[in-house]
Structure 1
């Protein structure tokens, strides 16, 4: 009986244990499912739908590829708010990001009267101290360093752009230069239109191949006196001898009217200061339109005085109608003087005075003058203008000449002085000037001179041709021509050094001076100054001596205001002998300095940067030798 009872109790307890086990398992499963669902819903609400949730007992496993480390952390944080953070197992990965791209390196050079500032980001390998030293030397003023660095590779073209910008800074005291690897943008203000033109020519000539150079150089408006405009319409067409405007809008209106009258589309009109009236543009347009209706003649403005000269044979009725309209429509400040020439009836020939200027600067004065005083005055004036030994006076005296003849002769000589060569002829009714010039503004300058000197009734014709070969600004020597001149200097006198050191001998300073004079007239270019020795002495000493001597030449050129930022001084020791080191004559020949033009990237950068950029110091075949050391000097 007891055994039976015991068996029943044991069976009951076993059944209870089995039921408890299954009940506990079902409860755990419910907890897992509830936790998994709650976390998944919260992740979806947070926009983290990329995360996967799996419950394993009381532990919650998070899977998936997070777009970023921040989103991975957010997923863990969301799950930890619903279950104990110790139960959350992070099995997630983070999506690999692409390699960080290098920043855009750039520098802004800001130069004004207060100094120069450098702002921007440069590669860590760029020689920062060298940049500051170069800018300080070029500007001769204070330099503010606001540069930052980043340790990324030096971009291709960076050193070339930097060197060009440093050179450009030399002649631009008020400028902003923006530098990047492939582009240099230069904004500057010059003192005059001539300085603007020279700066643009120098910069375009010095721009390295492959570098995008953008120029925005301005000049203050010139003060023009007298304020002049002259337009001529004859059998050769319609043209401006001079054109000035006081505003941009007046310039556009004048050119539009002139083009309609027959002036070529590429005509220009200078905007300047000095206009006698704010209605200058309006008056000019009225006069040009009137000349077009006449069909021929000329209109000349000299400040507020207007001279209208109709072509010979113009219909009287047309002339009266045009002049009457102008007299009524012109602004009050302007005074009109209109002339309709009478038809000539044939004469034996007009009285005249001529002055001829040849290519060599010689002037021959011929024809007639009023009296002896006028003759002496004319000759003295010509000698003052063209040189005391350049004038040949052959004019004779004619007391029948009209009043004012002497004034017209002096005005003609002043106009002739604007030409390289040519002839001016003075008659009782007209001054005719023709020739060649290297000054683009010569036609306008001549018109201004004659208008101011001769007054309202002035009638003159100008046939002046601009020749770029005569232009002193356009005729700047090329780097190759500069090296050729240095070679000629070297053929006359070699550079020598004091025995055993790098001090240039006193009798060689004249050669250095001549070379400096040549280089000051040359555009910026890149050149290597190479030093060589003979084979006597230790190789290390020869190498050091050659480097020191090349540097001495470079320093002497720099002391003579030569722009040397594109030059590299380098020693080669006893390498590359050009003669036999076994003889004294051969050793003397081997002790030398050579000047070589460099192409490609500029040499005045760290060798490390040169290696980054590739082979940027290729030498041209042409070598100019201007070197030496004394014959009695051991190396």
Structure 2
């Protein structure tokens, strides 16, 4: 019995020890779990998602790869706010700084009526100075908000060109956003009109530097069309829009479908704008086009709600009456129809007595007027009106007086002259029954503009015709280099490295072949100009020999360019020998400079018809570069 208390005491101590161990073990696990959960939560709140926590008893190992030393220190600091710093073991790594990509240079420019805002990162070496200089060149006192940062890193190759291009473009874009990177410029802007939009797009695209990708989006509000005009003609199988206006894209498509149904092919330059007289515009136009086809031909003009249909003079009276009656009943109520069936043409003898007024405008801008006007006062009024549109220096009148002219003659002359002013060159013919304007223009909207002028000013019963040819070379908004720019870029190729020849011969040196290729590329978009290829030598050797050698070398360059696709009619080779030195022939450097090929613009452009003729002729001509007389090898150009 004496041992029983001892056993009981031992058992109690064992149970108490086990309970204490279990309590300590599970308590430590609970503390570890709660500590890790608390740290994970605070790291998530602080956006430190790269940190990981591993418990080791009461010790917490904080691991992960910090993006920077500052981020590592911040993670330790945040952990110390949750648990005691003595329990934290810093086992974090820091990313190698050399593996971090350098900051990317970029610039955002915002401009509106409130001013200009700049934000981005630019080189510390001249970056801010370039911005300051470019903004100063805007020529206006514009408030600038500068949020640009700088960094001392290597400047990308095209960065300065891209920024300079963006700042020069900013001058023309008062409402714009321009984004610049080392090899790309993105421009988003608002223009005041469709014409300004086209002009800006062409100008900006033309001055974009090489090596810089340009993304451009310029928007313009829809134009207000006054009067809202559409004119459709049908003469046999020839159908065309002289003018086309629509209020929506859907209305435009409906009008084009109606025209296609009567034989129209190609693209209709239909302007979508404001000012439509009725929501039923497209329905009315479609009905009118169909009626014109039923008549067999003629013209139909919509000027706001006034509709004028002039049938072909060959239309039978019964067909005319039936079709016009049907059209009058089908047109929406707001539209008013005026229809005309012209009488049969008179004999040629009677036609010879028809009075007329004729005005011509030459490609050089000279306007000459002849024909008939009623009196001296009318001559003075017409001359004054013409000078206001064409300039006083280039306008001439040689008319004769005829007091028997029909009523409304001055209005027809004034309307015709105003329409003629939309052409670069052309002819106006005014007769009692019709007004005819034809010529060339550099405006895609000229036909519609002229039709709108004539329909609004001649009256609903007037008959007129507009025959316009669009020439892209005359279009100032087209991205086509001027003749002067073409020649300048050719000579720029030679400034980098001139074309050299074998000593004393007209054979192009093999080292100059690349320059010939670059010259041929410089002729892109310049196929309608005429260029003189001038050959020049120094003063060594006999004068006649130098003259012949320079001509042969100019011929050789011409032949090389023709072989590479340049139009033969665009090139004229001329040898000048030693007669036009640009440096002193008394020095070796001067003689080297005088031995050259140079390009010069010939004023008259190449007629389109001459291109094919000249090309065919040149295909049979011998290569001038192969006809050099070996006996003429001279001391010149040694």
Q: Does 1:198 align with 2:162?
A: no
Distance 1:64 1:107, change over 3 A: closer
Query: Counterparts of 2:489 and 2:319 in 1: how far apart (Å)?
Result: 65
Q: What is the match of residue 615 of structure 1?
A: none
Q: What is the match of residue 309 of structure 2?
A: 308
Q: What is the match of residue 132 of structure 1?
A: 132
Report if aligned partners of 1:66, 1:72 keep a CA contact under 8 Å in 2: no
Report if aligned partners of 1:120, 1:146 keep a CA contact under 8 Å in 2: no
Q: What is the match of residue 619 of structure 2?
A: none
Report if aligned partners of 1:241, 1:443 keep a CA contact under 8 Å in 2: yes
Q: What is the correspondence of 1:49-448 to structure 2 with a 5 Å cutoff?
A: 66=64, 90=89, 92-94=91-93, 96=95, 99-125=99-125, 127-149=127-149, 151=151, 153=153, 154-155=155-156, 157-235=158-236, 237-277=238-278, 279-314=280-315, 316=317, 318-344=319-345, 346-350=347-351, 351-353=354-356, 354-369=358-373, 378=382, 381-382=385-386, 385-386=389-390, 395-396=399-400, 402-448=406-452
- TM-score of the aligned structures, taking structure 2 as reference length: 0.59
Residues 210-234 of structure 1, C-alpha deviation per residue, up to 9 Å, x if partnerless? 3222222234444443332211122
Q: What is the match of residue 521 of structure 1?
A: none
Report if aligned partners of 1:184, 1:213 keep a CA contact under 8 Å in 2: yes
Query: Counterparts of 2:289 and 2:363 in 1: how far apart (Å)?
Result: 37
List runs of 5+ in structure 1 lacking aligned partners: 1-25, 487-577, 587-635
Query: Counterparts of 2:90 and 2:361 in 1: how far apart (Å)?
Result: 97
Distance 1:169 1:384, change over 3 A: closer
Query: Counterparts of 1:27 and 1:223 in 2: how far apart (Å)?
Result: 94
Query: Counterparts of 2:276 and 2:35 in 1: how far apart (Å)?
Result: 78
Equivalent of 2:473 in 462, 469, 472: 469
Q: What is the correspondence of 1:511-550 to structure 2 with a 5 Å cutoff?
A: none
Distance 1:144 1:250, change over 3 A: same
Query: Counterparts of 1:115 and 1:47 in 2: how far apart (Å)?
Result: 48
State the shift of 1:279 in Å. Answer: 4.5
Query: Counterparts of 1:316 and 1:186 in 2: how far apart (Å)?
Result: 60
Report if aligned partners of 1:255, 1:268 keep a CA contact under 8 Å in 2: no
SS at match of 2:453: helix
Query: Counterparts of 2:393 and 2:33 in 1: how far apart (Å)?
Result: 106
State the shift of 1:169 in Å. Answer: 1.3
Query: Counterparts of 1:322 and 1:47 in 2: how far apart (Å)?
Result: 89
List runs of 5+ in structure 2 lacking aligned partners: 1-17, 41-50, 67-71, 493-582, 591-638
SS at match of 2:137: helix
Residues 116-148 of structure 1, C-alpha deviation per residue, up to 9 Å, x if partnerless? 222334444453244134313314213333314
Q: What is the match of residue 538 of structure 1?
A: none
State the shift of 1:170 in Å. Answer: 1.4
Residues 165-214 of structure 1, C-alpha deviation per residue, up to 9 Å, x if partnerless? 11111122232323233332223333444333222221101111232222
Report if aligned partners of 2:76, 2:90 keep a CA contact under 8 Å in 1: no
SS at match of 1:138: coil
Report if aligned partners of 1:76, 1:90 keep a CA contact under 8 Å in 2: no
CA RMSD of aligned residues (A): 4.8
SS at match of 2:138: helix
State the shift of 1:340 in Å. Answer: 2.8
Query: Counterparts of 1:94 and 1:375 in 2: how far apart (Å)?
Result: 95
State the shift of 1:51 in Å. Answer: 6.9
Report if aligned partners of 1:193, 1:219 keep a CA contact under 8 Å in 2: yes
Report if aligned partners of 1:165, 1:184 keep a CA contact under 8 Å in 2: yes
Distance 1:388 1:62, change over 3 A: closer
Deviates more, 1:401-410 or 1:297-306: 401-410
Distance 1:79 1:132, change over 3 A: closer
Q: Does 1:454 align with 2:458?
A: yes
Query: Counterparts of 1:116 and 1:196 in 2: how far apart (Å)?
Result: 21
- TM-score of the aligned structures, taking structure 1 as reference length: 0.60
